[in-house]
């Protein structure tokens, strides 16, 4: 094709002005400059020749034409097509353009048949010249007197360049559907596109907007030629436009807009709204009169009822405002509260405690960690991230529980939170709930509902010197009972360790103590208990027996300890709940109860001994534990707490023969007993 | 319709008879077939576009001419007039022949797509698989259609693919050949689509859509 092009250029250039002519005009110019008189005609001639002469005087600026470029080719209906090009610089000379093409399979070069139909710098291929599914190789040549330049060739296939004309005969009318108007838009496909035979498949899109707004609402109409638009604004004026696209081609331009005005249809709506408004006002007025007549309190009372103040006896709002919460709660302690008469005790102690912390409740533990933290526990809140009491962590035992956290919020006279599951698996360290639970008990005001294990009877504030130690003691004893179990055989040194529960001992006493926090299920006075948490004091023995994974033991409640009563000697009698004795394999259903307070040892440790029903070994075990201080209520550390209320605790403790005041038995303390 | 021939009138009659027998009407079958061929062609366009985006410039020089497609020997109408004059059975036969001719090459393309040195190789591989699926489904559908459209529709032209199992040894030739094959497929899928849509409009019961 290139060869052919050159030949053509050669022939074309013969028409352009040659060097000879330029020289002649040069001479002419010189003659003129020589000073001949110029008439208007000559001026005109000079002006005409100036573009040729002036450059010649300064230097040649003619050049071959710049490179043209084919900009686009389009077919409106897959039967004809047009190509447009962009001319390059013309090099100062008149330039002509020619378009040459070659079809896919032949070497014949053709020239564009029609340069005019489609306008300037275009080439139109009519039906006869258009073949589809055939590649056209098209080039544009720009030629002037000095040379020619070729555009880059372009390969096109007509079927891929289809861009139809916009749809025609757009028609918008208003129709009504049960009183609500809508627009019906209809149109026709562009004239040239043959959709009837299926040669072209068109899909349509229309857009609508309100007059004066900028946002168009687009609707795709598929192949249909009619569309309904609902949800009109009454009285609005709409512009509608439509365009189309072949199935594999380009979108057409938007058609010219059609305008339509929607009539007002608001009247019907309006009357309805008026009716509603009047009716509701009427009702409201009646209501107001009713209120006024039936009460001597003002309306304000109903709209903004007064906020009830705290009704806690002894509660001093001023103290609260001052911010010293310890004082507040100390102030709340009433000597008589909770009632400690034994007659009542008996009744009150019927309920049993269930504190159950299951693994699934870890999340809740996390939630209530804050609560936990807010509760005062010496060393219980150290482990902020875990939601467990610090005393839960076996590794931190003494340290954490021993240190005074400086949480002076609430004197935790009871001592450390009791860790029923000291030997639990790490998972069971969620007994943080338990600890918090106990703290809840201790300070019911503070507890915001972790585990409300104790019935209200047991919710006295011991920290501030309540006298109702018995209940706490019973709890303590119950806990201690479990703890002592946990302590059990000397060989279970590992019991405190992460392999919680996996001890080497083989004894099979079911030393599970379970404290269920009966939250929702039981008549817990603290309905805030969120979940059913089960504290499990797994004895090492049992767990070792099971060799179970960390998870399983946590879920095996074995023993419920039921606090029965506090007898006259201030002894809390505990009795295990039979039903709860699910110890697991190989556990003889031996439930012992620690119901006898042995006494207080030198370390202010409360010793409970078991009222054993069977098994010498059990007894010996128990006793062994006793000597080991199976029950520990670490009063001492408690006393170290620099809270105001604590001092009140210890004297009481001593008064009560060292019964655990706080009811917290520090497993940590136990675990670090020298026996192990 | 100016192009209605005696053959097409007969076709329509047959069509009505067939539809009266509570079988799936041919118009419906053709509608489904054309939808599938439309999807197939869209996929091939997307694929060639993706291949174009990462095409070595030298590849354009090396690219075989479109007339080298293995289906170029099949005589197909080259403009609207010719197309509308072809009978329905012939149109269907053409479509089926083209589709048949691409079964093997698509397998080769699919295998090569897994190791194609192209940044979008994974997407390309997925699309090729989708293409294979469409192609197979369409082939089955057209076979059923051909059974309803007379004996001439059963004629198939055999267009063997002689490209072998490999599309190239080195990176450039792999890309170039892959691109070339896809462009051939793009064109052929467009032919199939057009023929089916012409058939659809001829057989349709809903002239407002055509």
Q: Which residue has the higher pLDDT, A555 or B139?
A: B139
One DSSP character per residue, A294-345 reads: H-SS-HHHHHSPPPPPP--TT--HHHHHHT-HHHHHHHH--TT-S---HHHH
Pairwise CB contact (< 8 Å): B209 & A224: yes
B35: nearest CA partner in chain A:
A247
Find the mean pLDDT for residues A9-33: 48
| Alpha-carbon gap, residue A497 to A393, rounded angstroms | 9
Judging contacts by C-beta atoms under 8 Å, the chain A residues touching residue B199 are 198
- State yes or no: pLDDT of A448 exceeds 60: no
* Geometric angle at alpha carbon A370, from A365 and A374, rounded to 5°: 125
List the one residue out of A203, A162, A199, A127 whose CA is nearest residue B1. A199
Contact B38 A104 (CB under 8 A): no
* CB spacing of A157 vs B187 below 8 angstroms: yes
B79 touches chain A (CB under 8 A): yes
Chain A residues with beta carbon closer than 8 angstroms to that of B41: 248
Residue of B35, B203, B210 to mutate, interface with A, max A Cβ within 10 Å:
B210
SS3 category, A552: helix
**Calpha distance A673→A550 (Å, rounded):** 25
Determine which of A108-112, A529-533, B91-95, B160-164 has the lowest per-residue pLDDT on average.
Answer: A529-533
Instruction: State how far the Cα of A665 lies from the Cα of A608, in Å rounded to an integer.
Output: 12
- Specify the 3-state DSSP secondary structure of A614: coil
Task: Give the span between the Cα atoms of A610 and A619, in whole angstroms.
Answer: 7
| Nearest-angstrom CA–CA distance, A138 and A111 | 9
Please state the rounded mean pLDDT for residues A57-65. Answer: 69
Chains A–B, number of C-beta pairs less than 8 Å apart: 67
CA distance linking residue A548 with residue A541, whole number of Å: 12
pLDDT of residue A24: 55
Q: Per residue in B114-167, pLDDT tens?
A: 888 888 899 999 999 999 999 999 999 999 989 888 788 788 888 888 878 887
Which carries the bigger pLDDT value, residue A442 or residue A85? A85
Mean pLDDT calculated for residue range A132-151: 91
Test the A interface: residue of B34, B68, B80 with most A CBs within 10 Å:
B80
Whether the predicted pLDDT of B186 surpasses 90:
yes
> CB-side exposure of A79: number of CA atoms within 13 Å?
15
User: Which residues in chain B have their CB less than 8 angstroms from residue A134's CB?
Assistant: 78
B1/A contact by beta carbon, under 8 A: yes
A113 Cβ contact partners less than 8 Å away, ≥ 6 residues apart? A123, A124, A125, A126, A129
Q: What pLDDT shows up at residue B189?
A: 95
Q: For A376-399, how does the pLDDT look when each residue is reduced to its tens digit (9 = 90+)?
A: 444 444 444 544 544 554 554 444
What predicted TM-score, i.e. pTM, was given to this entire model? 0.51
Per-residue confidence band for A521, with pLDDT thresholds at 50, 70 and 90: very low
Q: Report CA A68 to chain centroid distance, whole Å.
A: 57
In the structure encoding, which two tokens stand for residue A627, read together? Answer: 């000597």
**Tens-place pLDDT, residues B188-201:** 999 999 999 999 99
Q: Closest Cα partner for A646 from A409, A477, A436, A422?
A: A409
**Who's near B140: CB < 8 A, 6+ residues apart?**
none
Pick the range with the lowest mean pLDDT from A3-7, A90-94, A611-615.
Answer: A3-7
pLDDT of residue A383: 46
- How many CA atoms within 13 Å lie on the side-chain side of B64? 19
CA A380 to chain centre: 32
The continuous run of DSSP H or E covering B176 comes out as helix B171-203
- To 10 degrees, what angle do helices B121-148 and B103-113 make? 170
CA atoms within 13 A on the CB side of B183: 24
Q: Three-state SS string across A8-75, please? A: HHHHHHCCCCCHHHHHHHHHHHHHHHCCCCCCHHHHHHHHHHHHHHHHHHHCCCCCCCCCCEEEEEEE
What is the predicted pLDDT for the residue at A341? 55
Residue A425 and residue A502 in contact, taking contact as beta carbons nearer than 8 Å = no
Contact B1 A196 (CB under 8 A): yes
Residue with the larger pLDDT of the pair A551 and A179:
A179
Which residues on neighbouring strands pair with residue A181, listed in sequence order? Answer: A176
- The residue with tokens 């799936």 is B24
Which pLDDT score, from 0 to 100, does residue A455 have?
A: 43
Confidence of residue A178 (pLDDT cuts 50, 70, 90): confident
- DSSP three-state, residue B7: helix
Helix (H) or strand (E) holding A124: strand A122-125
8 Å CB contact between A572 and A470: yes
Residue A315: per-residue pLDDT: 62
Checking if the pLDDT of B54 tops 70, the result is yes
> With b meaning 16 or more CB within 10 Å and e meaning fewer, what string describes A382-402?
bbeebbbbbbbbbebbbebbb
Contacts B1 to A, Cβ<8 Å: 196-197
Whole-number Cα distances in Å, A6 to A101, A143, A148, A593: 15, 10, 8, 116
**Across the interface, which of A223, A224, A248 has its CB nearest the CB of B190?**
A248
Average pLDDT over residues A204-232: 92
Q: Do B80 and A194 touch (CB under 8 A)?
A: yes
At residue A52, the pLDDT reads 58
Q: B157 phi and psi, to 5 degrees?
A: -90, 135
Return the higher-pLDDT residue of B95 and A374: B95
> Minimal CA–CA distance to A362: which of A450, A434, A427?
A427
What's the average model confidence in pLDDT over A568-594? 50
Which element (helix H / strand E) includes B111? helix B103-113
What pLDDT does residue B53 have?
86
- Residue B100: is the preceding peptide bond cis (ω within 30°)? no
Query: Which residues of chain B lie closer than 8 angstroms to A130, CB-CB?
Result: 79
Residue A334 vs residues A2, A39, A413, B69: alpha-carbon distances, Å: 113, 130, 16, 101
DSSP-assigned beta bridge partners for residue A101: A110, A138
The answer to whether A630 touches A596, Cβ cutoff 8 Å, is no
Round to whole Å and give the CA distance between B80 and B95. Answer: 16
**How close is the nearest chain A Cα to the Cα of B9, in Å?**
15
> Which pLDDT belongs to residue B188?
95
What does the alpha-carbon distance between residue A68 and residue A83 come to, in Å, rounded to a whole number? Answer: 13
Please determine, for residue A308, whether its predicted confidence score (pLDDT) is greater than 80. yes
From the list A579, A580, A500, A574, the residue with the least C-alpha distance to A542 is: A500
Suggest the residue from B48, B65, B79 to mutate for an interface test with chain A (most A CBs closer than 10 A): B79
CA proximity to B124, closest of B26, B198, B50: B50
State whether B78 and A131 contact (CB < 8 Å): yes
Contact (CB, 8 A) for A540 and A486:
yes
DSSP classification of residue A661? S
Q: Indicate if the pLDDT at residue A605 is higher than 50.
A: yes
Nearest CA-CA partner of A548 in A586, A491, A578: A586
Q: Looking at the predicted structure, is the pLDDT value of residue A498 above 60? A: no
Of the candidate ranges A189-193, A392-396, A609-613, the one whose mean pLDDT is the lowest: A392-396
> Cβ A133–B78 below 8 Å, yes or no?
yes
Q: Is residue A146 within 8 Å of A93, Cβ to Cβ? A: yes
Nearest-Cα distance to chain B for A224, in Å, is 6
**Residue A660, pLDDT score:** 44
Residue identified by tokens 């001093």 is A316
pLDDT reading at A360 higher than 70: no
Q: How many CA atoms lie within 13 A of A324 on its CB side?
A: 11
Choose the weakest-confidence range: A209-223, A291-305, A657-671, B46-60.
A657-671
Q: What average pLDDT does the structure give for chain A?
A: 63
Nearest to residue A101, comparing CAs of A215, A217, A1?
A1
- Under the banding of pLDDT at 50, 70 and 90, the label for residue A632 is very low
Give the SS3 label for residue B160.
coil
For an interface test with B, the pick among A133, A152, A159 (most B C-beta atoms closer than 10 Å) comes out as A133
């Amino acid at each position: 094709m290139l060869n052919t092009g050159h030949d053509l250029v050669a022939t074309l250039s013969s028409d352009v002005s040659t060097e000879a002519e330029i020289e002649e005009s040069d001479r002419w110019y010189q003659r003129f400059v020589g000073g001949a008189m110029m008439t208007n005609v000559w001026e005109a001639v000079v002006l005409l020749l100036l573009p040729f002469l002036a450059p010649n005087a300064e230097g040649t600026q003619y050049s071959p034409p710049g490179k043209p470029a084919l900009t686009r080719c389009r077919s409106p209906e897959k039967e004809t097509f047009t190509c447009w090009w962009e001319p390059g610089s013309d090099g100062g000379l008149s330039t002509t353009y020619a378009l040459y093409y070659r079809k896919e399979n032949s070497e014949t070069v053709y020239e564009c048949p029609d340069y005019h139909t489609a306008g300037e710098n275009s080439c139109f291929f009519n039906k006869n010249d258009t073949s589809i599914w055939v590649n056209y190789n098209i080039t544009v040549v720009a030629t002037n007197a000095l040379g020619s330049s070729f555009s880059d060739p372009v390969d096109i296939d007509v079927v891929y360049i289809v861009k139809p004309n916009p749809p025609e005969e757009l028609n918008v009318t208003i129709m009504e559907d049960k009183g609500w108007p809508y627009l019906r838009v209809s149109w026709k496909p562009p004239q040239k596109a043959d959709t009837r035979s299926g040669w072209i498949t068109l899909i349509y899109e229309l857009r609508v907007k309100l007059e004066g707004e900028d946002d168009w609402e687009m609707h795709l109409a598929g192949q249909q030629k009619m569309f309904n638009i609902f949800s009109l604004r009454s009285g609005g004026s709409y512009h509608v436009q439509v365009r189309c696209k072949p199935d594999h081609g380009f979108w057409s331009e938007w058609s010219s807009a059609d305008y339509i005005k929607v009539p007002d249809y608001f009247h019907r709506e309006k009357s309805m709204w008026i009716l509603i408004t009047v009716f509701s006002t009427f009702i409201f007025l009646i209501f107001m009169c009713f209120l006024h007549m039936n009460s001597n309190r003002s309306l304000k009372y109903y709209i903004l009822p007064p906020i009830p103040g705290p009704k806690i006896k002894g509660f001093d709002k001023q103290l609260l405002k001052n911010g010293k919460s310890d004082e507040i709660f100390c102030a709340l302690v009433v000597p008589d509260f909770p009632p400690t008469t034994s007659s009542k005790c008996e009744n009150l102690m019927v309920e049993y405690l269930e504190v159950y912390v299951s693994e699934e409740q870890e999340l809740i533990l996390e939630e209530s960690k804050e609560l936990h933290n807010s509760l005062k526990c010496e060393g219980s809140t150290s482990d902020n991230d875990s939601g467990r009491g610090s005393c839960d962590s076996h590794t931190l035992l003494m340290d954490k529980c021993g240190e005074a956290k400086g949480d002076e919020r609430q004197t935790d006279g009871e001592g450390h939170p009791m860790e029923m599951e000291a030997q639990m698996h790490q998972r069971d360290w969620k007994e943080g709930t338990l600890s918090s639970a106990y703290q809840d008990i201790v300070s019911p005001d503070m507890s915001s509902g972790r585990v409300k294990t104790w019935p209200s009877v047991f919710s006295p504030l011991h920290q501030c010197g309540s006298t109702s130690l018995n209940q706490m003691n019973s709890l303590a004893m119950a806990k201690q009972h479990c703890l002592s179990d946990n302590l059990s055989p000397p060989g279970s040194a590992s019991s405190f360790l992460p392999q919680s529960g996996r001890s080497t001992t083989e004894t099979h006493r079911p030393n599970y103590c379970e404290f269920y926090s009966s939250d929702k299920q039981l008549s817990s006075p603290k309905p805030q208990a969120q979940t059913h948490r089960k504290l499990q004091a797994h004895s090492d023995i049992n767990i070792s027996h099971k060799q179970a994974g960390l998870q399983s033991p946590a879920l095996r409640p074995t023993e419920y300890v039921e606090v029965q009563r506090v007898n006259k000697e201030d002894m809390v009698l505990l009795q295990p709940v039979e039903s709860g004795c699910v110890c697991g394999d190989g556990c003889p259903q031996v439930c012992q109860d620690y119901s006898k307070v042995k006494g207080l040892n030198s370390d202010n440790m409360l010793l409970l001994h078991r009222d054993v029903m069977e098994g010498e070994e059990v007894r010996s075990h128990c006793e062994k534990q006793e000597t080991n201080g199976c029950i520990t209520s670490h009063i001492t550390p408690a006393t170290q707490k620099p809270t105001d209320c604590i001092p009140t605790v210890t004297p009481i403790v001593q008064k009560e023969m060292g019964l655990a005041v706080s009811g917290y038995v520090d497993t940590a303390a136990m675990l670090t007993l020298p026996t192990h | 319709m100016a192009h209605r021939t005696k053959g097409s009138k007969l076709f329509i009659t047959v069509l009505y008879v067939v539809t009266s027998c509570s079988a799936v009407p041919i118009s419906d079958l053709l509608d489904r077939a054309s939808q599938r061929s439309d999807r197939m062609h869209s996929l091939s366009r997307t694929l060639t576009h993706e291949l174009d985006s990462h095409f070595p410039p030298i590849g354009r020089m090396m690219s075989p001419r479109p007339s080298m497609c293995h289906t170029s020997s099949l005589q197909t109408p080259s403009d609207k007039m010719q197309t509308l004059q072809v009978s329905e059975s012939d149109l269907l036969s053409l479509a089926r022949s083209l589709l048949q001719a691409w079964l093997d090459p698509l397998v080769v393309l699919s295998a090569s797509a897994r190791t194609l040195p192209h940044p979008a190789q994974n997407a390309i591989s997925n699309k090729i698989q989708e293409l294979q699926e469409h192609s197979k489904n369409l082939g089955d559908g057209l076979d059923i259609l051909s059974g309803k459209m007379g004996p001439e529709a059963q004629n198939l032209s055999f267009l063997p693919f002689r490209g072998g199992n490999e599309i190239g040894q080195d990176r450039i030739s792999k890309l170039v050949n892959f691109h070339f094959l896809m462009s051939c497929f793009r064109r052929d899928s467009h032919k199939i689509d057009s023929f089916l849509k012409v058939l659809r409009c001829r057989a349709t019961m809903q002239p407002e859509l055509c």
